Amino acid sequence: MNKIKLIKAIRQKGLQNSLISIYYNIGRALPFRAQRFPDGRISNWYKSQFVEVHEVKPSGKGGKYGDAYGFYYRNGERADARENDPEYSWCNKSDTTPQNIPCAACGSWILLDILGEPTAEPAKIYGINDVLEKGQHKGETLVDVIHADWGWVKWANRESGHFFFDVDAVMEERKKDIKVLHPDDVLPFGKYKGLRLKSIAEKDYRYLRWLAMKTEDFTINFDELKEFITIEPPPNLK
């Protein structure tokens, strides 16, 4: 098991992960550490805390639900889950046995680290030269699908519980399809279709910034465009 690749692949699922699904996907390894972002929200407060899972008791059809037991950490150290009211905390720093973790079967859990060894086969991590074994691209190599149907790869990477990819390798391969536009390149679409990027930057560079955020098929070299911007650029362009 390549732990780093597995952690990165599972993290891509984001809001789809529960502590129960993580447990299965890492080959039932215990303990492991995970962090929750309720409703997908990310803040420094959420980032400061995580749980260390020491026991999982699946239940329901297919073991999809269940309970997880462990300890609560804040800023890397054991802590009371309710900092200002430890009496009613689900886990206190003085606890010596794993405690029932709230919302273990809910989504929004992010895998941080795997501390134990797997006791079952972890989720398969597809490398770019591997042949997909199921789904609409069954029988095709991942590298071919990256270039032919990036939308599907992006969906499978984030939403599907059946596909886990070598994230770094996939993104490196994807770069081959992303064109870098330079000042003398002509914009092929949009309200400034037919104009060179340097001309657009002179009159409406904010449009180019907006365009760059809306597409994944090309990037714009803004460093080369600086000299053509006639008004004070925002801090991130300085």
Are the beta carbons of 237 and 226 closer than 8 angstroms? yes
Half-sphere exposure of 126 (CA within 13 A, CB side): 24
Predicted local confidence at residue 238, as pLDDT: 46
In the three-class reduction of DSSP (H, G, I as helix; E, B as strand; rest coil), residue 123 is classed as coil
> Which amino acid does the sequence have at 210?
W
In terms of DSSP bridges, do strands 49-59 and 65-74 run parallel, antiparallel, or are they unpaired?
antiparallel
* Alpha helices (H) in 175-196, listed in sequence order: none
- 3-class DSSP state for residue 9? helix
Q: How far apart are CA 109 and CA 60, in angstroms?
A: 19
Task: For residue range 84-126, list pLDDT tens digits in order.
Answer: 887 889 999 999 999 999 999 998 999 999 999 999 999 999 9
**Strands 164-165 and 125-126, sheet pairing:** parallel
CA angle 206, 210, 211 (to 5 degrees): 115
Domain ranges of the chain: 3-121, 126-175, 179-237
The first and second tokens of residue 94, run together, are 């003085």
The answer for residues whose C-beta is within 8 angstroms of residue 213's C-beta and 6 or more apart is none
Alpha helices in the chain (DSSP H): 3-11, 19-25, 44-47, 142-148, 150-158, 167-174, 197-214, 222-225
C-alpha gyration radius of the chain: 23
* 69 phi and psi angles, rounded to 5 deg: -130, 140
Per-residue pLDDT of the chain (238 residues; tens, 9 = 90+): 799 999 999 999 987 899 999 999 999 999 999 999 866 677 777 888 999 999 999 998 878 899 999 999 999 999 999 888 878 899 999 999 999 999 999 989 999 999 999 999 999 999 999 999 999 999 999 999 999 999 999 999 999 989 999 999 999 999 999 888 899 999 888 889 999 999 998 888 889 889 888 887 888 888 888 888 765 555 554 4
| Separation between Cα atoms, residue 73 and residue 209, nearest integer Å | 40
Q: Is the pTM of this model over 0.85?
A: no
Report angle CA 203, 212, 15 to the nearest 5 degrees.
Answer: 145
| pLDDT tens-digit series, residues 137-151 | 999 999 999 999 999
Rounded CA separation 119/131 (Å): 26
- Residues 132, 138 contacting (CB under 8 angstroms): yes
